[in-house]
Amino acid sequence: MTRPDRGYGRRMPLTRSLDDATVVITGASSGIGAATGYALARRGADVVLAARSEEALHRVADRCRELGGRALVVPTDVTDPEAVVRLAARAAAEFGRIDAWVNNAAVGTVGLFDEIPVIEFRRVVEVNLLGTVYGTRAALPWLDAGGGGVLVNNASVLAEVAMPYQSAYNATKHAIRGLADTVRQELRVTGRGHISLCTVLPATIDTPFFRHAANHTGRELTPPPPVYPPEMVAETIVRLLRRPRREAYAGGAARLMGIQWRLAPALAERVLGWYAARTQFGPGVRLDATGNVFRADAAAERTDGWQGRRAQLIRLTAAFGLAAAGTAVGTVAAMSRRSRTERG
């Protein structure tokens, strides 16, 4: 049973303060990546912003400069390993070094496992998992050369628990977690403990992710509540840069789901499956769409999430409360049954 983290052992934060640090962020044109750029720029960091949409990246960069940081835009598709190596080189050439790297780019395809086109499943693996692999490989030599630094992989609570209709996404996020655990071990046993590798496990976040996702369900997608603001994940990432830990949840619901999954996995799997199957869809009908899986989705609004649909989210959040309470009761019942059996 893996536990999201208490300690990191010897914690190696950035070798310099944030207002003097260079941080590369992938998936920076939207949502959590953009919010992370703003959070870092506000603290005076130099940010290197990567994603496919150059125009959106420039908008984020302008805002970062207004907030007090220097910003460099490097349009990059993270599925191209050479482009990711060039991204690292551009960052170091511009700012002299790389102190931290945030692997954040991701896409999703929503639908039943046996109905999602294989080509889309593969692309989700390429963006989410291989994009993280390429980013990590590109970053490590620069972090090592600078005497240390921090790598942050933005996974999801879906790296620990599961949700129906999200098989490709879930599989990549579980893989990212396993990858980080292994690379962290390797860094330690090869004398590179001055590089920290952290995994973030956010709950549902108010970004355009669900609008960007490919959809093969025939129905409108809505984010399963409770829904937290992207700034909360950005602040978690900032904290990890200052004080690295193996893993950090972002959002109380993620922590709760993680606990329930570890204590009573079979029950939590059932309840979360039931809950997600009911809350992931809105009333609208949707045609099959590939979203931003293969190319940046110019049509999608890039910054706003679901704030305009507060009433719907509140109703669904209440459903989460009920499901969580039901699972908690079931968990306690399962645990006391187990301990009675063990005693008997």
Ligand X SMILES: NC(=O)c1ccc[n+]([C@@H]2O[C@H](COP(=O)([O-])OP(=O)(O)OC[C@H]3O[C@@H](n4cnc5c(N)ncnc54)[C@H](OP(=O)(O)O)[C@@H]3O)[C@@H](O)[C@H]2O)c1
Catalytic residues: 169
Which residues bind to ligand X, rule: CB under 6 A? 26-33, 51-53, 56, 76-79, 104-107, 127, 154, 156, 202, 204-205, 207-209, 212, 223, 292, 296
* Closest distance to ligand X from the beta carbon of 12 (Å): 24
Nearest to 109 by CA among 126, 121, 127, 125: 121
Residue 49 or residue 267: which is nearer to ligand X going by CB?
49
Least Cβ distance, residue 171 to ligand X (angstroms) = 12
Between 12 and 78, CB nearer to ligand X: 78
CA-closest candidate to residue 199, choices 34, 59, 60, 2: 2
For the record, the structure tokens of 6 come out as 């208490």
- Select 196 or 204, whichever has its Cβ closest to ligand X: 204
Residues forming a β-bridge with 247: 199
Nearest approach, Cβ of residue 53 and ligand X (Å): 3
Q: Rounded to the nearest 10 degrees, how much is the dihedral formed by the CA atoms of 203, 206, 207, 210?
A: 70
CB-neighbour burial class of residue 47 (10 A; exposed 0-12, middle 13-18, buried 19+) = buried
Integer Cα distance of 306 and 233 in angstroms: 16
What is the rounded distance in angstroms from the CA atom of residue 311 to the CA atom of residue 260?
27
Nearer to ligand X, 79 or 196 (CB): 79
The size of the chain, in residues, is: 344
User: Which CB sits closer to ligand X, 81 or 265?
Assistant: 81
Q: How far is the CB of 69 from ligand X (least distance, A)?
A: 18
Q: Which CA distances in Å does 289 have to 116, 171, 245? A: 11, 21, 38
Strand-strand pairing, 281-285 and 219-221: antiparallel
Q: What is the dihedral of CA 242, 243, 247, 249, to 10 degrees?
A: -70
